[in-house]
Structure 1
């Protein structure tokens, strides 16, 4: 009689220990937001004196434009992710299935854009946006976010399409489909996995980005910029900073938990069947 296989216990212990290390700071942030700052300055983990209060949440909501910053973050991150999700599959399809002059050279130039730091673009972008009147307009950060994401997004989608069944492309061409019809009817419905990956990564990057919004936006600031304003110069306001941190992290966490199911559809999408 075959014995039932029992997996070793140590991997679960290691995973549990690492998960605990990651979860402890989250408990700390929640505890700081629900206690007076005078108690948390001596250690949020101390329970010898624990006073539950929502004063920090009320102060942040009353004293700062929290809702406006939240809406601005949703618009900036959402439109930036949408732009990358729409444009990256087109670029990946062109570089994978089309033959045109300069195809390899332009792809190498696109990939080399990985090494361009954002700081190099600040001065020319600021000059350009000031001349065209885009300062303090959310598109002054959305356009650079989408453009800067094209290097890794197109590269990611192209690598995914490397294993795409070329026979489906040929069958569509035999049926009289052009490249546009082939892309939208055959390739795009089976490319949900890289599109979800691009959307998640782009959304998280733009949601947490601080440099460009801080430089180009004055009134329409997103949550990360507001977070720097809540932390005072002389008074840390750790309880209020903890509240803003919790609000800032809720949305990207929810987006990741919802869209991660598309990663599991990779195997079925690779088979050439619509997911």
Structure 2
């Protein structure tokens, strides 16, 4: 009689150990946010004296415009991600299926935008936004966010479309569809996987970005900029910083949980069938 195969135990132990290492900082942030700051100075893991309090949560909501900063972050990251999700597939479709003069050269120039440091754009952008009165307007950061994402977003979606069934494109053209109709009706519904990847990566980048919002925004500040204000110069306010960090992390987590379903669905959606 054949013995039932039992997988080795060490892979599970290794995965559990790595998972614990990854989750420890999160536990530390939560513990810091619900205890007085004096109790966590020797380490959040020190539970010789443990006092449960939500005072830090109250102080953050009362003393800082947390809701306004949260709403500004949602607007900036949401519009920037939507812009990249809509524009990147259009450029990728052109580079994957259209033939036009300078296609290879322009694509190489687009890829070379990867190596351009974002910092060199700060002074020209600041001068431009100041001259046209766009300082302290959320579009002063949304426009650069979308523009700077085009290089990697178009490259990512284009690599996905290279393996797209060409027969579906030809069939659409035979049925009388132009490139616009083919893009919207055939290609786009079957490109949810790269679009989800672009949306997640763009949202994470813009949500956590600090440099451009700090330079271009004064009143309409997002959460990362508010975090720098909560952390005082002489008093760290670690308990309040922990509260703001938790709030800042909730929305990206929800966005990731929502979009990740498209990765599993998109892996089997290359046949041209709408999912």
Report the TM-score range of the alignment, normalised by the length of the smaller protein: over 0.9
Determine if contact 2:72/2:222 at 8 Å carries over to the other structure.
yes
Alignment RMSD, CA only? Answer: 0.8
Q: Which residue of 1 aligns with 2:256?
A: 256
Residues 200-255 of structure 1 show CA distances to partners (whole Å, capped at 9, x for unaligned) of 00001000000000000000000000000000000000000000000000000111
Distance in 1, Cα, partners of 2:163 & 2:25: 41
TM-score (norm 2): 0.98
Partner SS, residue 4 of structure 2 = coil
Moved beyond 6 Å, runs of 4+? none
Distance in 1, Cα, partners of 2:2 & 2:170: 50
1:6 to partner: Cα distance? 2.6
Q: Which residue of 2 aligns with 1:266?
A: 266
Distance in 2, Cα, partners of 1:16 & 1:141: 40
Q: Which residue of 2 aligns with 1:247?
A: 247
1:35 corresponds to 2:38? no
Residues 24-43 of structure 1 show CA distances to partners (whole Å, capped at 9, x for unaligned) of 11110001001111111111
Partner SS, residue 93 of structure 1 = helix
Distance in 2, Cα, partners of 1:89 & 1:136: 30
Q: Which residue of 1 aligns with 2:108?
A: 108
Q: Which residue of 1 aligns with 2:165?
A: 165
Q: Which residue of 2 aligns with 1:149?
A: 149
Determine if contact 2:84/2:198 at 8 Å carries over to the other structure.
yes
Q: Which residue of 1 aligns with 2:139?
A: 139
Distance in 2, Cα, partners of 1:101 & 1:202: 30
Q: For residues 192-203 of structure 1, what are the structure 2 equivalents within 5 Å?
A: 192-203=192-203
Q: Which residue of 2 aligns with 1:174?
A: 174
Distance in 1, Cα, partners of 2:244 & 2:272: 44
1:266 to partner: Cα distance? 2.1
Partner SS, residue 270 of structure 1 = coil
1:54 corresponds to 2:54? yes
1:4 to partner: Cα distance? 3.4
1:2 to partner: Cα distance? 4.5
Residues 112-165 of structure 1 show CA distances to partners (whole Å, capped at 9, x for unaligned) of 101111111000000000011110000000000000000000000000001100
Determine if contact 2:193/2:267 at 8 Å carries over to the other structure.
no
| Unpaired segments ≥5 residues, structure 2 | none
1:81 to partner: Cα distance? 0.3
Partner SS, residue 264 of structure 2 = coil
Q: Which residue of 2 aligns with 1:18?
A: 18
1:65 corresponds to 2:65? yes
Residues 158-201 of structure 1 show CA distances to partners (whole Å, capped at 9, x for unaligned) of 00001100000000000110000000000000000000000000
Distance in 2, Cα, partners of 1:195 & 1:148: 17
Distance in 1, Cα, partners of 2:5 & 2:114: 46
Question: How many residues matched?
Answer: 275
